[in-house]
Amino acid sequence: MNIIPQIFQRRKIDRDVADEIASHIEERAAELAAQGMAPADALLAARRQFGNATLTAEQSRAVWRWAPFEELLANLRYAVRQLRRAPAFATAGIATLALGIGANTAVFSVVNAVVLRPLPFPEPGRLVSVASRNTRGIPHPDQLSYPEFFALRRQNAAFEHIVSYRDTSMALSGAGDAVNVPAQIVSWDLFDALRVRPAAGRGFRPNEEARDQRVVVLGYRLWHERFAADASISGRTILLDREPYTVVGVAPRDFAFPFENPAVQLWTTLAIDARSHTKQPLTEQAGSRFLQAFGRLRPGVTIQRGQTQLDSVAAKLAREDPDNYAAVAGTWITPAVDSVIGDARRPVLILLGAVGLVLLIACANVANLLLARTAEREREFAVRASIGAGRARIVRQLLTESFFLAIAGSAAGVLLAIACVRAVTRLAAGSIPRIEQASVDAPVLAFSVALAFLTTVLFSFAPAVRLARIELISPLKEAARGNAASGGRLRGAFVVVQIALGLVLLSGAGFLASSFAHLLRRDAGFRPEGLLTFSIGMPNELTRGAAHLPFESRVLDRLRALPGVTSTAAGVPMPLAGHEIILSFNIEERPSSPSNRPYSDMALVTPGYFRTIGIPLLEGREFTETDDGQSEPVLVVNRAFADKFFPGERVIGKRIEPGATADGVRGGMREIVGVVANARQDPLGAAPDAIYYYAEKQLPWCCLHYAVRTSGSAAAIQSSIRAVVAQIDPTAPVYNIHPMEASLSDAYRGPRFQMLLLGAFAVIALLLTAVGLYGVLGYAVLSRTREIGVRVALGANPSAVLRLVLRQAAVQVACGIALGASGAAAGNRLMKTIVYADAIPQSFLVFAACVVIVITATAAALIPAKRAASVDPVQALRSD
């Protein structure tokens, strides 16, 4: 069909048809007149006989059209005109939709970045995380030891590569100021497995895992910042931890490994772990599980098949060496991208669900607006129908108006989302992986457009159905006496649903807020005010055995002499640092085989640590300077440890034997000499973690972190600390220097983000619901003005009228609450899975949410109710 010329001929065709029909009627009239009828009567009779001339003309023209498209254009033009003529309605509708769609777009951009986006490597679907399966207690993934990793790597045919990696950090000196660089110790085939070509030089080679090799690949950023992007860097020797390393390559610009961790800027081979640092190189210690691993499956190999192969390797190891492997006789293989998403999936999806409810509420509001408008326009539609518009055409017209509203709303919403995404990502940075990558890009825009369609269907369905059902002519006869009753019920139903959804959101937000408040209020177990922590990148020759002890005590002494410093100490891990060292032990009274031993967190501390951090001593004594390699082996435990492993007993004097070893350290049983309060290792954990403390001199592992308590501001002393350390050793960088209060507040970023976002959604929902209720009641009052006027004229007093309107509101609110309460309970059960502590009983929270709803609803209902009560009967009766 040649549409283009037809469009140009359009005007001619339209004119022809119109002329032709006019001529037809005239001819008929002339004929009738000739038969003796008066000319005016003849014309009327001819018209009557012809029927609906406009409709006929339209149908005739329609033959020529690519009808749906042209009608859409016409409808759109009409829609814009209509909306321009009702600016209040248009603004309210577009703003409501912009809020709903904008919030959804923003949250979806987060979901897209965090959950949906694949890893940025070729064929990311074949990349999997490889861990061992620890079946002690609830089965959970566990890290690997080197001997285990070597066995898995060698004895399978399902993987192209299996790559081990572990965190470390290295002090780079000789290239500007000494700086500490986050680094990874990896097996040789990291870059091959990821299919990444270095930006310069090459990746590692298999022989570079040998004990004497020291090779490194630089991160792109480090290469720029410290080596001026020197193209001839390959082959150069640089100093890391004061040891010479040969640079073999530079990673590409956007390369991030571990996945999505841009901080790491150095990669070296596991050769460094093969040196004999302690009695046995790490690469030979079967019991030291600290390796993470990922693999690339061969093409066509499923995760299940890969796992089956690795399981049989693990099972064989467990048979050969049950002491080390009995508890980990299987493997745990998951898509590698899951290791990036981690625990973030559920909170992010819950937020998406919550924001979806906001959209539903927004849709209900717009549907109500449209219903009201449809009712107002019934006369217009009736007129249009009477001059020849088909009913379907009118419904399509309405749908077009709705769609235009949705498009305008989503355009505004997308702008809103673009503005919000940055704020949202800043709020959550560091607490949700990959969230920095969230942006309004093509898939997100596609999502918004889909939302626009969906919302159009949702909110214009009701008005369209209503229009299709009503008698289009009756409004003309009724002179718009208003048949609000039938529409009113539907609109009331929308308000009920809104109230129910609002209740779910509100109680969910209340739940998060109360648990967050509890989190802030509860005792961290130590005093973060005035406390500053930092780390020092130690030169390599000082990290062997007890070589770092003199350096450490020099630093601590010099720091203690600084003005304002009240005490100093060192320890690893510090509170809030998480479960960095978990070690099993044997209890003297209840000995067990190595694979069945209990385990808990452990830490190494200097004397004065508990005082400096602010952990109260509950029983027994602290460590002293005399707790060293020569004296009796001792331990201090926390309250949670005592309660967990020695419930109801006096723990002082009990003896346990932890598995930790070091050169010149006596093995055997160690006596518990003190009990301290529970300082939180995991700031978000439900219960405090059991932990036991070594005196550092009795287990001289390098390297501890430093803690300084000041009487003044913890932030002010940072530069003096750097100066002190630089005086002692200019090649040893100070890093991770943070006031403890900042670390504590960082730890709460995740829950704070969830709470603020859900709170914002709840507030939006509440506002929209209030507006919806106000609109429905306001409209009801308006359309019943005459009835109210009659009532007042017959003697009803204003308070009775007030009650009349409020009763309508009360019924809707009650229905909404009844419907929403069970939803709220279900929502809160879901919340519980992402929340750390629930301080307040759920029923109370739901009740509180109901109270807020009732108050808001009352406020929203009072305005129209007051207006109804002040109706002047004379005016009301004249109003039509």
Partner 1 sequence: MMVLRTLQRAPLHGYALAQQIKRLSNDLLQIEEGSLYPALQRMLKDGWLKANWDVSPTGRRIRVYRITPAGARHLEKEVSSFERMLEGIRFVLDGNQSPEQA
Which residues bind to partner 1, rule: CB under 8 A?
13, 16-17, 19-21, 23-24, 26-28, 30, 49-52, 55-57, 59-64
- H-state helical runs in 377-441: 378-386, 391-428
The secondary structure element, H or E, covering residue 672 is: strand 670-676
Nearest approach in angstroms of CB 67 to partner 1 is: 12
SS3 357: helix
Rounded Cα gap, residues 256 and 777, in angstroms: 57
Q: In this complex, which beta carbon is closest to partner 1, that of residue 13 or of residue 815?
A: 13
CB-wise, 29 or 845, nearer to partner 1?
Answer: 29
Return the H-helix or E-strand segment holding 215: strand 215-218
Compute the least distance from the CB of residue 57 to partner 1, in Å: 7
Q: Is 682 within 8 Å of 751 (Cβ atoms)?
A: no
DSSP H or E run through 226? helix 220-227
The residue behind tokens 């408008």 is 373
Our CB check for partner 1 shows the closer of 59 and 596 to be 59
**Minimal distance in Å, beta carbon 69 to partner 1?**
17
Residue (14 or 243) nearer to partner 1, CB: 14
Cβ 474 vs Cβ 795: under 8 Å: no
Instruction: Identify the DSSP state of 113.
Output: I
Q: What tokens were used for 668?
A: 């055997």
Q: How far apart are CA 455 and CA 473, in angstroms?
A: 30
Give phi and psi for 212, each to the nearest 5.
-90, 0
CB-nearer residue toward partner 1: 13 or 449: 13
Q: How does 223-257 read in b/e, with b if 16+ C-beta sit within 10 Å?
A: beebbeeeeebbeeebbbbbeebebbbbbeeebbb
**Beta carbon nearer to partner 1, 54 or 553:** 54
Rounded least distance, CB 386 to partner 1, Å: 15
Least Å distance between CB 39 and partner 1?
15
Interhelix angle 345-376/442-469, rounded to 10 degrees, is: 40
Residue closer to partner 1, measured from CB, 64 or 748: 64
Beta bridge partners of 695: 605
Token pair, residue 69, equals 């498209």
Q: What is the smallest separation between the CB atom of 23 and partner 1, expressed in angstroms?
A: 6
**Residue 182 pairs with which residues in a beta bridge?**
169
- With respect to partner 1, which residue has the nearer C-beta, 280 or 386? 386
Half-sphere exposure of 600 (CA within 13 A, CB side): 24
Which of 26, 320 has the CB closer to partner 1? 26
Q: Least distance in Å: CB of 400 to partner 1?
A: 23
Q: What are phi and psi of 705, to 5 degrees?
A: -95, 160
Say how far apart CA 781 and CA 785 lie, in whole Å: 6
Whether 839 and 517 have beta carbons less than 8 Å apart is answered as: yes
C-alpha dist (Å) from residue 49 to 8, 56, 99? 33, 13, 54
Q: Tell me whether strands 531-536 and 705-710 are parallel, antiparallel or unpaired.
A: antiparallel
Least Å distance, CB 394 to partner 1, is 19
Q: Which is nearer to partner 1, 30 or 782 (CB)?
A: 30
Residue 20 or 41 having the CB closest to partner 1: 20
Residue closer to partner 1 (CB basis): 19 or 557: 19
Q: Could you give the CA distance from residue 457 to residue 446 in angstroms, rounded to a whole number?
A: 17
CA distance between the termini of the chain: 53
Please, is 657 exposed, middle or buried when counting C-beta atoms within 10 Å of its C-beta (0-12, 13-18, 19+)?
Answer: middle
- Distance separating alpha carbons of residues 164 and 292, to the nearest angstrom: 6
Under 8 Å between Cβ of 525 and 678: yes
Which element (helix H / strand E) includes 739? Answer: strand 734-739
Closest to partner 1 by CB, 24 or 275: 24
Residue with smaller CB distance to partner 1, 7 or 116: 7
Q: How far is the CB of 4 from partner 1 (least distance, A)?
A: 15
The answer for residues whose C-beta is within 8 angstroms of residue 282's C-beta and 6 or more apart is 146, 273, 274, 288
**Smallest separation, CB 36 to partner 1 (Å):** 18
DSSP 681: S
What is the nearest approach in angstroms of partner 1 to the Cβ of residue 368?
Answer: 38
Parallel, antiparallel, or unpaired: how do β-strands 691-695 and 599-605 relate? parallel
Residue 636 and residue 620 in contact, taking contact as beta carbons nearer than 8 Å: yes
The nearest distance, CB 60 to partner 1, in angstroms, is 4
Minimum Å gap between C-beta 389 and partner 1 is 15
CA-to-CA distance for 402 and 462, rounded, in angstroms?
11
- Give yes or no for a cis peptide into 658 (omega within 30° of 0): no
**Closest approach of Cβ 52 to partner 1, in Å?**
7
C-alpha to C-alpha distance for 379 and 466, rounded to whole angstroms: 14
**Rounded least distance, CB 70 to partner 1, Å:** 15
Report the distance separating Cα 569 and Cα 773, nearest Å. Answer: 61
Q: Which is nearer to partner 1, 9 or 261 (CB)?
A: 9
Backbone phi, psi, residue 293, to 5° = -150, 150
Rounded least distance, CB 50 to partner 1, Å: 5
Q: Which is nearer to partner 1, 17 or 500 (CB)?
A: 17
Q: Which is nearer to partner 1, 17 or 615 (CB)?
A: 17
Question: Distance of CA 558 to CAs 357, 720, 722, Å?
Answer: 59, 10, 12
The residue (of 12 and 85) whose beta carbon lies closer to partner 1 is: 12
- 770 close to 859: Cβ distance less than 8 angstroms: yes
Smallest distance from the beta carbon of 6 to partner 1, in angstroms?
9
Quick one: angle between helices 798-832 and 842-869, nearest 10?
Answer: 160
